[in-house]
Amino acid sequence: MNRFFKVLFVALIAKPLVLILLGLNVIHREKLPQTGPSIIAVNHNSHLDTLVLLSLYPLSLVHRLRPVAAADYFLSNRIIAWFSLNVIGIIPLTRNGSAKRDLFSDCHKALDNGDILLIYPEGTRGEPEVTSKLKKGIYYLVKDRDDVSIVPVVTHGLGRALPKGEALLVPFNCDVVIGNSLDNKSSPAELVESLTDSYKELLLQCLTYHEHD
Amino acid sequence: MANIPFNALVAMIAILSFLGVATVIQVVMVKSNPSKDFTELRQRITSWWWIIGLLFIFLGIGTNAAIVFFAFISYLALKEFLSIVSTRQVDRSVVFWAYLCIPLQYYWVSIGWYGLFIIFIPVYMFLFIPMRMVMKGETEGFIKAAGILHWAVMLTVFSVSHIAYLLVLPEKNVSAGGIGLVLYLLFMTQFNDVNQYLWGKSIGKRKIIPKVSPNKTWEGFIGGVVTITLVAGFIAPYLTPLNHLQGFVAGLIISVSGFVGDVVISSVKRDLNIKDCGQLLPGHGGILDRMDSLIYTAPLFFHYIYYLYY
């Protein structure tokens, strides 16, 4: 990752885009982790999720935020791969399960380095504004470490602005709700359960969410 | 800055001094009572500096710059409104067209085409939005979606664009100009909000509309109406073509309709179960929380002076 490119990208593209074309209601901004090693576990509705999370950080910290992203999607095209790796600074993750042993080695390296990982536990953007079943990967990533805090974050509205499969960005204000870091990480099922509960609770604090949606 | 008429310039300086005094009072309050949390008051005043600073800069640059400024306000308000209400995913492209009506509406303003300005949204957008929705073919939730979209552009684009049209009306009071009219409308509307709040807070007893706004009282409403009617009548000849008597009526219109705009947006929020429409203006909430009264006062004040003088 090139820190200069990333700062430039966040300053000139991510922040203005989020400020003018979107518009954020940030609830509990103070709970956002400012130092690593930590994990932000955020629901996934749109490519904008990553831009929004990046825009919440001051330019001096954006290089700390490392999105964990699917290798099969983001490395499939040379231009996107270059952009993802060098500008956004993603940590590519193999989704097909073939390379189990060293699956998380880059993630561990980043955590050891004090970075903040951005992980989408749904594993995919899926249906707009619908949270899919959460995957257990985070548990296996953190099970041997006790230095990592997991902060649940819910975004809402970004699936309206730019859903999967659409090219037209339609301006909408979006909510970002930051929760308390999870403490129940004793088993994969429990971690997924507390994360799911936390998402449900955070969603209710959104300005743009309606229960009948 | 040379194009700002003298009375309008005086009004701007007066408003800035007003805000300066408020800032000083706030600083003194914080200093003399360090244990109390004044965050919201401080944010509120800081937001006012931003709102008034940007408004005055764009008014100072020129008419077209100010029209672009109000168009941008409409955009922010429309975006906020469409975000808090529910929209159908299938209507994303229709929503996009709703945004596109903003540059058109303000273009009619900039060329002073009154005929189209006044019917474009109430007639043509009214007919166009459902047509564009039909092309998508989804009928479930059609009525509600069409209603919400048209109401949204009426509130945030049609109403708000009346403020901008004040700038292109022929000048009937050359020492105040279009800027004078805009300042008069904006100041009276916001001053009315403050007065209704202060009167209600100090002597308010009888609730006026408890199901919508439990804090609003008859005393606050009447106190605001009387104060604004008097102040508006007194200031009118300096900033508008109106004489004192016509100014009293303008003040009455602004204060009564400002109250209505306030409670209409309050009802929207209550329906959606939210306290604020957004976070754009720290200390105030969203842009709609600040503009609620203007949605009613702008068209009514505009048509009042349009009827009398144009």
Hey, where are the domains in chain B?
65-168
Q: Rounded to an integer, what is the distance from CA B264 to the centroid of its chain?
A: 13
**Who among B82, B96, B280 is closest to A168 (CB)?**
B96
Q: Do B278 and A173 touch (CB under 8 A)?
A: yes
Residue A83 tokens read as 């952009």
Percent of chain A with pLDDT over 70: 95
Numbered residues of chain A with Cβ closer than 8 Å to any chain B Cβ: 23-26, 128-129, 157, 159-160, 163, 166, 168, 170-174, 207-208, 210, 212-213
Instruction: Report which residue type is found at B206.
Output: R
Are the C-beta atoms of B218 and B253 separated by less than 8 Å? no
Would you write out chain B's pLDDT as a tens digit for each of its 310 residues?
557 999 999 999 999 999 999 999 999 999 998 888 888 899 999 999 999 999 999 999 999 999 999 999 999 999 999 999 999 999 999 999 999 999 999 999 999 999 999 999 999 999 999 999 999 989 999 999 999 999 999 999 999 999 999 999 999 999 999 999 999 999 999 999 999 999 999 998 999 999 999 999 999 999 999 999 999 999 999 999 999 999 999 999 999 999 999 999 999 999 999 999 999 999 999 999 999 999 999 999 999 999 999 8
Q: What value does the mean pLDDT take over residues A106-117?
A: 90
Instruction: Report which residue type is found at B56.
Output: F
For B84, the closest chain A residue by CA position comes to A208
More confident call, A136 vs B202: B202
Residue B149 tokens read as 């979209």
- Angle made by CA atoms B255, B273, A51, in degrees to the nearest 5: 105
C-alpha torsion A131→A135→A138→A140, nearest 10: 170
User: Measured between CB atoms, does B39 come within 8 Å of chain A?
Assistant: no
- Residue-wise over B7-26: b if at least 16 C-beta within 10 A, else e? bbbbbbeebeeebeeeeeeb
Q: Which residues of A touch B141 (CB under 8 A)?
A: none
pLDDT confidence of residue A13: 94
Least Cα distance to A89 among A124, A113, A122 occurs for A113
Residue B16 tokens read as 């800035």
Q: What does R_g of chain A's alpha carbons equal in angstroms?
A: 16
Distance CA A58, CA A116 (A): 14
Are the C-beta atoms of B165 and B158 separated by less than 8 Å? no
Q: Do A160 and B76 touch (CB under 8 A)?
A: no
Size of interface A-B (CB pairs under 8 A): 53
Instruction: Report which residue type is found at B23.
Output: T
pLDDT confidence of residue A98: 61
Q: Is the pLDDT reported for residue A139 higher than 90?
A: no
- Residues across chain A: 213
Q: Do A173 and B79 touch (CB under 8 A)?
A: yes
Are the C-beta atoms of A83 and A166 separated by less than 8 Å? no
Element holding B191 (H helix, E strand): helix B177-203
Residue holding tokens 């916001």?
B190
Q: Is the pLDDT reported for residue A97 higher than 70?
A: no
Beta pairing class for A149-156 and A174-178 = antiparallel
Q: Distance (Å) from the C-alpha of residue B205 to the closest C-alpha of chain A? A: 32
Q: HSE on the CB side for B69, CA within 13 Å?
A: 21
User: Measured between CB atoms, does B274 come within 8 Å of chain A?
Assistant: yes
Q: Is the pLDDT reported for residue A125 higher than 80?
A: no
**Who among A168, A172, A212 is closest to B79 (CB)?**
A172
Name residues 69-88 of chain B within 8 A of A (Cβ). Answer: 75-76, 79-80, 82-84, 86-87
B6-32 vs B218-239: helix axis angle to the nearest 10? 140
Distance CA A150, CA B226 (A): 57
Residue B10 tokens read as 């005086």
Q: Do A168 and B93 touch (CB under 8 A)?
A: yes
β partners of residue A25:
A175
Name residues 193-222 of chain B within 8 A of A (Cβ). Answer: none
Least Cα distance to B70 among B174, B186, B173, B176 occurs for B186
The CATH superfamily label for domain A3-203 reads Glycerol-3-phosphate (1)-acyltransferase (3.40.1130.10)
